[in-house]
Amino acid sequence: MANGVMTQTQHIPYLAQKGLKSWILTTDHKRIGILYLVTISFFFMIAGLAALGMRYELMTPELDFFRTATEYNVAFTLHGSLMVFFFIVPGIAASFGNFLIPLMIGARDVAFPRINLLSFWIYLVGTAILLSALAQPADTGWTFYTPYSIQTGTKVIMITLGVFVLGFSSILTGMNFIVTIHKLRAPGMTWSRLPLFIWASYATAILQLLATPVVGITLLLLIAERAFDIGFFDPAKGGDPILFQNFFWFYSHPAVYIMVIPAFGIISEIIPVFARKPIFGYKAIAYSSFAIAIISFFVWLHHMFVSGISETAAAIFSFLTMLVAIPTAVKVFNWTATLYKGSIDFHSSMLYALSFIVLFTVGGLTGVYLGALAVDVHLHDTYFIVAHMHYVMIGGTVMGFFGALHFWYQKWFGKVFDELTAKVAWFLIFVGFNVTFFPQFFMGFQGMPRRYATYPEEYISYHSLSTYGSWILGLGILIMTVNLLIPLWKKGRPESSNPYGSLSLEWQVPSPPPHENFDEIPTVTDWTYSYGKNRSEANAKK
Amino acid sequence: MSTHDHTEEHHTGLRVYAAVCLALFVLTAVTVYVAKFDFGDFNIVVAMLIASIKASIVALYFMHLKFEDKLTWIYALYPLFLLFLLIGFTIMETFTRVPVIK
C-alpha cells in the first residue's frame, strides 16, 4: 500500500539502546508507549489483587477476610480508583496510541515528542502522589461523592490530588494526538484511508482534551471543600451535594468512552485481518466514534436518577441516553457483517476480538436497562450495575487491550509468544470472566446492593460462584502474562515482519521498528482494508 | 494540510499588545469599581461579563486566536458550548426539582 518502507536489514531497532537514561529521557513514541504499558500493567495488577481480596471476602456472608468494613471500603476504593484512573483511562489510548499512531499514519514520531515525555512524567507524578496516599487510603469509592467524601475521616485529599495531576497528562496526550493526526499524516494518507484505530484515537483525544478539565476542577473544588470548608456542596452553606455529581459525571460519562473507544479501534483493526475481508461500513464505523464522543456529553444525568434530581431532567436524560445505543450498535453490526463469509483465522488476538463483540454487546444492552428510568430505580446501586460496568470495562476495554497485546506483540517487541498457551489463557479468561460477573446480574436483580462487605445468606451461592470465577479469571491473566513475558528474555526474532498479512502501514516496517520508523516517509496509495480481493475493486466498493 | 504558516505575518506588533494590556488594566479597575454597586441578582452577571471580555481579548491577541484557522476556532469554541451545556442542564435540573419536604 505504500512506498518508502524499510527492509529488515536496514535498521537499528528502537529497543537497541540500553540503560536507564535511554528510557527515562526518551522522546521516542514507541518507548514512551512501553513506559505507559509497564506502568498501567503494574496498576492493573495491584487493582486486580484488591479485587481478588474483595471477592475472597464475599465468599461468605460474614466479615472474615478484612478486619473491618472500612478495610473492605478501602479495598474497593483502591480497586476502582486504580483501575479507572491509572489503568483503563490512560490504558489503550496512551500505550497503544503512542506506539501505533505515528506508525499507522506514516510519521516519524508524534507532533510534540517532548510534551509526550512530559505527559508520561506528569502521569508518574500523579501515581507517586496516589501511592503516597495508600498509607492512609480513602474509603469513598472511585466516585468521591459528596457529602461522604467531605465528612469521612479517611484521607481523601491525596488520592483526589493524584487524580487531578493525572488529568494534565491525559489532556497533553490528547492534544498531542490531535495535532499529530492533523499535521503528520503521510502523503496519500487521506481521512478516508485512515486506519479505524486512528479515527478512534482521534475521537478519544477530543474527549481527553475537552472533558478532563471538568473533572480536574471538580476535584479541586472537593479538595478546597475539605481543606477550607467553603460550602460548594454543603446545603447548610447554600451549596448542593448533587452539584458534585453533576460535575463529576459530566466528565466521567465521556470518560467511559475514553476507556472504550480505543478498544473499538483495536477491534476494527483485528477483525478484517483475521477474517481476510475488507471492513464492512468503514465510514459508518469511523463517524460513529465521533457520534459517541459527541452524544457522551448529553447523558451524564443517567448516573443520578435516584440521587434526588428533578423528574423532568431524569426523563429527558433517559431519552438522551438511548441515543448512545445507535452509534454503538452501528459498530457491532458492521463488525459482524465483516465476519460474514470471511475466512476466519482464530488467532488468539481474534479470539479476544470476538469475545469483545459478545461481551460488550451484553454490557451495552444491559446499559439500556439502566438508561430506562423506572428500571434504573430498581437496579441502581445493586450488583446489576457492577456486572454491567464490568461487561463494558473488562468485556469491552480489557478484552480489546488483551487482543491488541497479542496482535501487535511481535511488532512491538520483535518476539513471538506461544500461541497455544495464549489460547488456553484466553479460554480461562473468557470463562472466568463470565463465571465471575454473569451471576452478579441475577443477584443485582434480586436486590443485592453493591459496596457491602456482608450480605444475607440467600445470596451466598451467587457470591461463591462469582468468587470461584475470579480465581479462574486471575489464573488466566497470570498465564497470559507469563506467556507474554517469557519471550522477552529469549533470543531470536520473528520469521516475518508481517506474519498476519496486514495491509496497515505499521506492519510494513521491520519488527521491532527502527528508531524513526521509516527511512523515507511513505506515500500511501491504497485503502488500509483491501483484504481478500482486488485492491481497486475494494477501493471502489468503499 | 496546514494553513498555519502564513499566519505568522499577521501577528500584531508591540503597540497592539500594549493596548490590550492597557485594556486589561482598565477592565480590572472597572471590575473593582462596579463592585461598589448592588445590582441584586445581576451582580454575578456583571462580574462575569467583564471577566469574559478580558478572557476574550487575551485569547484573541495574546494567544493569537484571531489569526488562527477554522479548526483552532472550533477547538476554542466547542468547550464554551460544553460549558453552557453543563451549566444549562444543571440549572434546568435544579429549578425543576419538586421539593419533597416543604
Q: Single out the residue of A448, A436, A455 nearest to residue A391, CA to CA.
A: A436
- What's the pLDDT at B10? 57
pLDDT, tens digit, for every residue of A267-297? 999 999 999 999 999 999 999 998 998 899 8
Q: Is the pLDDT of residue A148 over 90?
A: no
CA dihedral A171, A116, A481, A492 (to 10 degrees): 160
- What's the pLDDT at B5? 47
Given B85, B90, B94, which is nearest A297 (Cβ)? Answer: B85
B5 in contact with A at a CB cutoff of 8 Å? no
Q: Is the peptide bond before A512 cis (omega within 30 degrees of 0)?
A: yes
CA distance B96 to chain A (A): 6
**Least confident interval from A11-15, A381-385, B93-97:** A11-15
- What's the pLDDT at A440? 97
Q: What does the angle CA B37 – CA B43 – CA B44 come to, to the nearest 5 degrees?
A: 150
Q: Single out the residue of A258, A202, A272, A279 nearest to residue A507, CA to CA.
A: A272
B101 in contact with A at a CB cutoff of 8 Å? no
Q: Is the pLDDT of residue A385 over 80?
A: yes
Q: How many other β-carbons are positioned within 10 Å of the β-carbon of residue A453?
A: 21
Chain B (46-75) residues lying within 8 Å, Cβ to Cβ, of chain A: 71, 75
What domains are defined for chain A?
27-534 (1.20.210.10)
DSSP assignment of A11-53, as one string? Answer: --BTT---SHHHHHT---HHHHHHHHHHHHHHHHHHHHHHHHH
A182 in contact with B at a CB cutoff of 8 Å? yes
Chain B residues with CB-CB distance to A211 below 8 A: 82
Q: Retrieve residue A397's grid coordinates.
A: 476495554
Q: How many other β-carbons are positioned within 10 Å of the β-carbon of residue A69?
A: 15
Task: Identify the closest residue of chain A to B90 by CA–CA distance.
Answer: A246
Give the integer Cα–Cα distance in Å for B46 and B31: 9
What DSSP character marks residue A5?
A: P
Confidence of residue A10 (pLDDT cuts 50, 70, 90): low
Distance (Å) of CA B55 to CA A98, A274, B48, B71, B82: 33, 52, 10, 20, 17
Chain A residues with CB-CB distance to B96 below 8 A: 310-313
CB A23 within 8 A of CB A35: yes
Map residue A524 onto helix, strand or coil: strand
**Interface touch B98/A313, C-beta < 8 Å:** no
For an interface test with A, the pick among B71, B90, B100 (most A C-beta atoms closer than 10 Å) comes out as B90
DSSP assignment of A123-147, as one string? Answer: HHHHHHHHHHHTTS---S-TT--TT
Q: Single out the residue of A4, A31, A25, A5 nearest to residue A515, CA to CA.
A: A31
Give the integer Cα–Cα distance in Å for B84 and B101: 30
**Least confident interval from A23-37, A139-153, A405-419:** A139-153
Chain A residues with CB-CB distance to B84 below 8 A: none
Given B1, B78, B98, which is nearest A310 (Cβ)? Answer: B98
CA distance A313 to chain B (A): 5
CA distance B11 to chain A (A): 21
Chain A residues with CB-CB distance to B91 below 8 A: none
CB B33 within 8 A of CB B89: no
pLDDT, tens digit, for every residue of A449-460? 999 999 999 999
Task: Identify the closest residue of chain A to B92 by CA–CA distance.
Answer: A313
- What's the pLDDT at A447? 94
Q: What is the mean pLDDT of residues A67-90?
A: 89
User: What are the φ and ψ backbone dihedral angles of A523, each rounded to 5 degrees?
Assistant: -105, 120
Given B1, B86, B93, which is nearest A310 (Cβ)? Answer: B93
> Considering chain A, what is the average pLDDT of its residues?
91
Confidence of residue A78 (pLDDT cuts 50, 70, 90): confident
Stated pTM of the model: 0.90
- What's the pLDDT at B2? 43
Q: Is the pLDDT of residue B100 over 90?
A: no
Beta strand A2-3 pairing with A523-524: antiparallel
**Which amino acid would we find at residue A337?**
A
Distance (Å) of CA A245 to CA A173, A227, A302, A526, B90: 26, 19, 11, 47, 10
Q: Hey, CA dihedral for A504, A173, A266, A402, is it positive or negative? A: positive
**Interface touch A214/B75, C-beta < 8 Å:** no
Task: Identify the closest residue of chain B to A188 by CA–CA distance.
Answer: B1
**Better pLDDT: A335 or B14:** A335
CB A128 within 8 A of CB A169: no
pLDDT, tens digit, for every residue of A156-194? 888 889 889 999 999 999 999 999 999 999 999 999 999
Give the integer Cα–Cα distance in Å for A229 and A227: 6
CA distance B19 to chain A (A): 31
Task: State the residue for C-alpha cell 459478545.
Answer: A358
Q: Retrieve residue A102's grid coordinates.
A: 505515528
**Least confident interval from A163-167, A252-256, B2-6, B71-75:** B2-6
Alpha carbons within 13 angstroms on the beta-carbon side of residue A217 total 14
CB A199 within 8 A of CB A286: yes
**Interface touch B1/A297, C-beta < 8 Å:** no
CA distance A130 to chain B (A): 29
**Better pLDDT: B97 or A55:** A55
Q: What is the mean pLDDT of residues A7-27?
A: 80
For an interface test with A, the pick among B81, B96, B98, B100 (most A C-beta atoms closer than 10 Å) comes out as B96
Q: Is the pLDDT of residue A538 over 70?
A: no
Task: Identify the closest residue of chain A to B83 by CA–CA distance.
Answer: A214
Burial level of B77, CB count in 10 A (0-12/13-18/19+)? exposed
Chain A residues with CB-CB distance to B78 below 8 A: 210
CA distance B71 to chain A (A): 10
- Residues with Cβ within 8 Å of A529's Cβ and at least 6 positions away in sequence, in order, are A272, A278, A279, A282, A503, A538, A542
> Considering chain B, what is the average pLDDT of its residues?
86
pLDDT, tens digit, for every residue of B6-45? 444 556 788 999 999 999 999 999 999 999 999 988 999 9
Chain B residues with CB-CB distance to A298 below 8 A: 85
Percent of chain A predicted with pLDDT > 90? 69
CA distance A206 to chain B (A): 9
- What's the pLDDT at A81? 85
For an interface test with B, the pick among A202, A250, A296, A302 (most B C-beta atoms closer than 10 Å) comes out as A250
Chain B residues with CB-CB distance to A185 below 8 A: 1
Q: What is the mean pLDDT of residues A226-248?
A: 89
pLDDT, tens digit, for every residue of A49-60? 999 999 999 999
Chain A residues with CB-CB distance to B90 below 8 A: 243, 246
Chain A residues with CB-CB distance to B99 below 8 A: none
**Interface touch A246/B93, C-beta < 8 Å:** yes
Task: Identify the closest residue of chain B to A312 by CA–CA distance.
Answer: B96
A169 sits in which H/E element? helix A157-183
Give the integer Cα–Cα distance in Å for A244 and A253: 14
Given B2, B86, B89, which is nearest A183 (Cβ)? Answer: B2
**Residues in chain B, total:** 102
Q: What does the angle CA A391 – CA A395 – CA A396 come to, to the nearest 5 degrees?
A: 105
Alpha carbons within 13 angstroms on the beta-carbon side of residue B20 total 18
A209 in contact with B at a CB cutoff of 8 Å? yes
**Interface touch A313/B89, C-beta < 8 Å:** yes
